[in-house]
Amino acid sequence: MRNTAIAILVCALMHLAHAGDPVDGTAAAPAPSVPSPAELARRALVQRVDPSIVSVTTYIKVPEGAAREGRWSVADDSPIAGYARETVSSGIVVDNAGTILCARTPLLLDGQTFSDRYDVESSVGSRFDVELLGVEPTINLAVLRVKPAPGQSLADLVPAKIGSVGDLRVGDDLYAMGDPFGAARVFAPGIVMSLPQVSCYQADLTGSLIQASMAVSPGALGGALVNRDGLVMGMIVPPPSLDADARPAPEPYVTYGMQIQTAIGVGEAITRKRSTTSPFVGFSVLALPELKAKLHDDARFDALAKPSYGLYVEDVFTPSPAARAGVQVGDFVMEINGNKIRSVVDFQQSLYYFAGTQVPVRIFRSGKELTPMLAIEARPPSANRP
């Protein structure tokens, strides 16, 4: 009797263990995995930032009757009659008017000639014609503005949330986000490897960039480096090059980001002036906090004779307008043509606003003020250093 009871109990347990099995004998489907908190955070980050990242397409005119051998009739079809896709990169939406920051070199057809047709595509597939407003060769920046068709809404283009590079620290999480052509997307996690040492790029381009530990595809150029909160800290740019028209591919071990405050500030100036060249005076500057950090000596900084506002002249290029006007390392630039210079962005913007002219520059030197006249010229290739 005892053996019979045990047999009944074993059969009951086996029945319970297999109660969920399909009747045809196949194994039951495993339960869906539960996303980890880190995965949920990354998903939320993509949802927040994606509407602010666009795909930027450069088109090249196709001669009438050109051969179409080796083309898919739909996948390779261009939305613009008479044009074919040449290059595709990414861009960042920065305001409600449809202004987009992107990299300059992907907009070039042969290294030096700009196309006459560009468009952008939103994360949900809405396509917009755009106008090229201006470019900055030295830092590889371009500004586009959407030209909506009649009745076309800009609702799919959401301005990015902008962060402050000053809040970053080495080791912080960063994510590279871009939108190359079609179904491709770039979402690459990494960390801050190196912070910008300077805000002014005139003498040290690499030193003005964020460096992050992820690899991205060429289509990510012009996209965003964002922190875990979805705030844009930088715009993805190619590795620094002596040749402003070169097209270096992203490196596999580091991604470079232009500080977003630089991109926005210079973007405003080149948009206002419709500039396509780099203005140049021949000196580089440090903001006062940058100077204090570079000295590594608070007492020395406090004892330094300095004005209540202005930027410290860190280096002077020879030959240059600055060298000819007698500007010296250690001077402080307070005003350019009457405009007070309180930040590096103020300095950079003034160069564009008064490019091609000779202007008075208010200088503070050893407790005295000077006002030399300074020409703002086109940047010579010899002044470039990566």
CATH number of the domain residue 165 falls in: 2.40.10.120
Show the tokens assigned to 327: 């500007």
Q: Is 193 left (phi over 0), alpha (psi -120 to 50) or beta?
A: alpha
Tell me which of 274, 297, 323 is where a domain ends: 274
How high is the pLDDT of residue 2? Answer: 45
Residues 250, 253, 258: CA angle, nearest 5 degrees: 55
How far apart, in whole angstroms, are the C-alpha atoms of residue 132 and residue 143?
6
Regarding whether 184 and 205 lie in a shared domain, the answer is: yes
Which residue type sits at 155?
A
Show the tokens assigned to 54: 């666009």
26 inside domain: no
Q: What is the CATH number of the domain that holds 363?
A: 2.30.42.10
How high is the pLDDT of residue 192? Answer: 98
Regarding whether 299 and 180 lie in a shared domain, the answer is: no
Tell me which of 219, 242, 274 is where a domain ends: 274
Residues 368, 371, 376: CA angle, nearest 5 degrees: 135
How high is the pLDDT of residue 76? Answer: 63
Contacts of 275 (CB under 8 A, 6+ apart): 134, 135, 136, 269, 352, 355
15 inside domain: no
How high is the pLDDT of residue 88? Answer: 93
For the chain, 386 residues long, give each residue's pLDDT as a single digit of tens: 445 444 444 444 444 445 445 555 566 677 778 889 999 999 999 999 999 999 999 999 887 666 655 565 555 677 888 888 899 999 999 999 999 999 999 999 987 799 999 999 999 999 999 999 999 999 999 999 999 999 999 999 999 999 999 999 999 999 999 998 777 789 999 999 999 999 999 988 999 999 999 999 999 999 999 999 999 999 999 998 877 777 777 888 899 999 999 999 999 999 999 999 999 999 999 999 999 999 999 999 999 999 999 999 999 999 999 999 999 999 999 999 999 999 999 999 999 999 999 999 999 999 999 999 999 999 998 888 76
Regarding whether 192 and 43 lie in a shared domain, the answer is: yes
How high is the pLDDT of residue 95? Answer: 97
Sheet strands (E) in 181-317: 186-194, 209-212, 224-226, 232-237, 255-259, 279-280, 283-286, 311-316
Three-state SS at 90: strand
Tell me which of 274, 306, 325 is where a domain ends: 274
Half-sphere exposure of 324 (CA within 13 A, CB side): 11
- Enclosing domain of residue 220: 35-66+73-274
How high is the pLDDT of residue 287? Answer: 95
How far apart, in whole angstroms, are the C-alpha atoms of residue 346 and residue 178?
29
- How many domains does one find in the chain? 2
How high is the pLDDT of residue 117? Answer: 94
Contacts of 142 (CB under 8 A, 6+ apart): 101, 102, 103, 104, 107, 132, 134, 135, 136, 222
Regarding whether 288 and 177 lie in a shared domain, the answer is: no
Which residue type sits at 125?
G
Whole-model pTM: value is: 0.87
Regarding whether 344 and 310 lie in a shared domain, the answer is: yes
Regarding whether 139 and 206 lie in a shared domain, the answer is: yes
How far apart, in whole angstroms, are the C-alpha atoms of residue 141 and residue 52?
17
Show the tokens assigned to 155: 């609702």
Half-sphere exposure of 360 (CA within 13 A, CB side): 8
Contacts of 267 (CB under 8 A, 6+ apart): 94, 99, 101, 134, 141, 143
Kindly provide the b/e burial profile for residues 38-68, where b requires at least 16 CB atoms within 10 angstroms of the residue's own CB.
Answer: eeeebeebbebbbbbbbbbbbbbeeeeeeee
DSSP string, 39-87: HHHHHHHHHHHGGGEEEEEEEEE--TT---TT--TTTT--SSTTEEEEE
241 inside domain: yes
The terminus-to-terminus CA distance of the chain in angstroms comes to 91
Regarding whether 145 and 49 lie in a shared domain, the answer is: yes
How far apart, in whole angstroms, are the C-alpha atoms of residue 210 and residue 226?
11
How high is the pLDDT of residue 11? Answer: 47
Contacts of 6 (CB under 8 A, 6+ apart): none
Q: Are 210 and 225 in contact (CB under 8 A)?
A: yes
Regarding whether 289 and 153 lie in a shared domain, the answer is: no
Regarding whether 264 and 298 lie in a shared domain, the answer is: no
